[in-house]
């Protein structure tokens, strides 16, 4: 039987680790990988005992982009019929927090995949970039939009127009990466952070994700109203009662996600 292109592990309580597994192709994202990612993330989203997800590759490559060999001969309609845009939307709509643990290359669709995540932990020698312009196309998995929102127009333009790669420190300095750690620590640190999040109030965690993402594209006033509604809803949860009671009683809260 062929080795699965996406593996799922459970490295800590409440944490699913989703690993892209095409090492011979630098984890290039072919259709099979994307479909498998959609399934793995949907399964993790549905599982009551999973509260945070780590998405990773291997030490050489998080993902070196869309599979160039798979798309080289495709026409526009074939490309459309493959529905990769729908798969991207499913990947990026996971309601639970997703932490990208990036070692090695995060290029093109790989960089875009990392940007669908909520937190990016990168190893010191990780390399990022949107090199699509060098092969005659443009970023198609959100690179022109998510990157611009993350780092601003002038840095995003430079990255997309030159296709030049850049390192983890530069990515951190421009706001594309949440934390840079030693290469050997990337996965460990991502799991540790996922575990930390998994122990917090699940409904609050999911509301934070939803409000931050939805608010990004709304007016400040509309986004603040969204935040207000979301915090009001939290007061209907048992977790709010438990969290505040635990604070007052000086004990650790036990959150149920209810
Ligand atoms: N697609 C297919 N195969 C790849 C890819 C890729 N993106 N990247 C690497 N590979 C393969 C190589 O062809 C090679 O295969 P083989 O051994 O059979 O020759 C194997 O992986 C190892 O690659 P290298 O020998 O090149 O390894 P290096 O360590 O020397 O270099 C790099 C690694 C720098 C990652 C290099 O392979 C590279 O530049 N890869 C291409 C990077 C790139 O251009 N990415 C952008 C792709 S386009 C894209 O992502 C568009 C997204 C749009 C999505 C939305 C569609 C609707």
pLDDT tens-place string over residues 2-25? 889 999 999 999 999 999 999 999
Q: Is the distance from the beta carbon of residue 22 to the nearest atom of ligand 1 less than 6 Å? A: no
Examine the pLDDT at 115 and tell me if it is beyond 90.
yes
pLDDT at residue 2, as a whole number: 84
54: CA distance to ligand 1 center in Å?
23
CA gap 164, 136 in Å, rounded: 14
- Residues of the chain with pLDDT > 70, as a percent, come to 100
Which residue matches tokens 């004990």?
A: 251
Beta bridge partners of 119: 99
pLDDT at residue 178, as a whole number: 98
Domains of the chain by residue range? 6-198, 202-249
Q: Do domains 6-198 and 202-249 have the same CATH topology?
A: no
| pLDDT tens for each residue of 154-183 | 999 999 999 999 999 999 999 999 999 999
At a CB cut-off of 8 Å and minimum separation 6, what does 75 contact? Answer: none
pLDDT at residue 187, as a whole number: 98
Known catalytic membership, residue 66 = yes
Mean pLDDT across the stretch 85-97? 94
Q: Is the distance from the beta carbon of residue 65 to the nearest atom of ligand 1 less than 6 Å? A: yes
Fold of 6-198: 2-enoyl-CoA Hydratase; Chain A, domain 1 (3.90.226)
| Residue 52 CB burial class (10 angstroms; 0-12, 13-18, ≥19) | buried
Examine the pLDDT at 53 and tell me if it is beyond 80.
yes
CA gap 71, 170 in Å, rounded: 30
Q: Which of 61, 111, 113, 101 is nearest to 194 (CA)?
A: 101
Mean pLDDT across the stretch 106-115? 98
How are the residues of the chain apportioned to helix, strand and coil, as percentages rounded to the nearest 5? 50, 15, 30
Fold of 202-249: Lyase 2-enoyl-coa Hydratase; Chain  A, domain 2 (1.10.12)
Mean pLDDT across the stretch 242-250? 98
């Amino acid at each position: 039987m062929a080795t699965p292109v996406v593996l799922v592990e459970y490295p800590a309580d409440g944490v699913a680790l989703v690993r892209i597994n095409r090492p011979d192709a630098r984890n290039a994202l072919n259709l099979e990988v994307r479909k498998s990612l959609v399934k793995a993330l949907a399964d993790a989203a549905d599982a009551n005992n999973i509260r945070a997800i780590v998405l990773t590759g291997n030490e050489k490559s998080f993902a070196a982009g869309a599979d160039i060999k798979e798309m080289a001969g495709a026409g526009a309609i074939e490309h459309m019929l493959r529905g990769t845009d729908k798969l991207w939307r499913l990947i990026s709509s996971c309601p639970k927090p997703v932490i990208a643990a990036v070692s090695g290359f995060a290029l093109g669709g790989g960089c875009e995949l990392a940007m669908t995540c909520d937190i990016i932990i990168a190893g010191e020698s990780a390399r990022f970039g949107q090199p699509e312009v060098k092969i005659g196309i443009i970023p198609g998995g959100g690179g022109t939009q998510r990157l611009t929102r993350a780092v601003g127009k002038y840095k995003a333009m430079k990255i997309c127009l030159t296709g030049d790669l850049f390192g983890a420190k530069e990515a951190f300095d421009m706001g594309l990466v949440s934390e840079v750690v030693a290469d050997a620590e990337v996965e460990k640190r991502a799991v540790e952070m996922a575990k930390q999040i998994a122990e917090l109030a699940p409904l609050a965690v999911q509301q934070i994700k939803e409000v931050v993402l939805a608010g990004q594209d709304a007016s400040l006033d509309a986004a603040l109203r969204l935040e207000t509604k979301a915090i009001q809803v939290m007061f209907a949860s048992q977790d709010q009662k438990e969290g505040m009671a635990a604070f007052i009683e000086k004990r650790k809260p036990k959150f149920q996600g209810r």
